[in-house]
Every structure is written in structure tokens, then in C-alpha cells.
Amino acid sequence: MFTPDPIPRRTAPPASSTPLGDYLAESGHGVDGNYAVLPRSLAESMPLPWQQHMRHLLAELHQAFGHLQWPVYRVVPSRYERLVDLDDDQLAEVGCTVEVGDDGELEYRMRDGRRVEDPAAQQVLVSCLDPIPWQPPQGGPQPAPGTPPQPPAPGAPPPPSW
């Protein structure tokens, strides 16, 4: 009836109490220290059961935190670049200027006047063209090959001019 043998222990690591945080910490796709971005075109191109599941998860999130004052987020595709590889427009975007120092060498300075000690090792985030192509929603109308892109909706912001 009862065995004198000890209860076998689990050999796998214990389950995490923060599984989403753990996954986001190890995933580099659309994740930084504060935000996780899900490209809408990819989400809408997933199979219908996946979309239904995601819709329910987002509805639960919004129901749980709908009382908060949610801002509108402006998401800009970006990539890391070395400071020394940036052009003038990109330097201005990150708030940096370049001057020729007294010794004839280039000096990089941040907006607040502070000198960047090793600009070749300094990585900064600069905007770029979105590398993820737009994908039509699954089951939605497919444009005919060679069809020019549709104009933006009235009131939509203009596309970036990179």
C-alpha cells in the first residue's frame, strides 16, 4: 500500500514565477528594457486560431488595466549604430555634435556638452526603414502583382523620407 521509497524529485528546473518576463529577457525580437513591440502586420498574418487567442489575451490585458491613462505610443523602427558611423542627420537625431578639437582630432559631444570619451565604442539607437515587410491579413484581399501601393488614408501621417 505505502512504499518506503522517497517521493522522486523533479529533475527539471522549477517553474518560474515570471515566465513572460523571463521570455522577454531572453528574446531580442522587438523587446527592450521597458517595452515589447508586436508588429501588427506579422500578428495579422498569423493563422486565425492564433489571432483569436491573441485577441482574447489583449482583451484581458485591457480589461485588467483599462482604468489607467494609456498614452499613445509612437514606435519607430531603429537599430544600434556606432557613433562614429553616423551622418550629420543621424548625429542630430541622437543629440550629438562633432567638432574638431585643439589637437585636430574629432570630438563628439552630447547635447548637454559632455564629451564622448570613446566614440568608436559608443553605440546609439537611430531610426531606420522598417525591415519587416507589410503582410496582408491572412485571408484578406491580396493585391495583384505589379499593383502600386495604396495611398495613405486621409489624415494619416506621411511615410518617412529615409
Exposed, middle or buried, 24 (CB in 10 Å: 0-12/13-18/19+)? middle
pLDDT tens-digit readout, 32-53: 888 999 998 889 889 999 999 9
pLDDT tens-digit readout, 86-129: 999 999 999 999 999 888 889 999 999 899 999 999 999 999 99
User: What span, in angstroms and rounded, lies between the C-alpha atoms of 114 and 122?
Assistant: 14
How do the domains of the chain map onto residue ranges? 28-63, 78-127
Q: What is the pLDDT of residue 50?
A: 93
pTM of the full predicted structure? 0.61
Q: Judge contact between 127 and 93, C-beta under 8 A.
A: yes
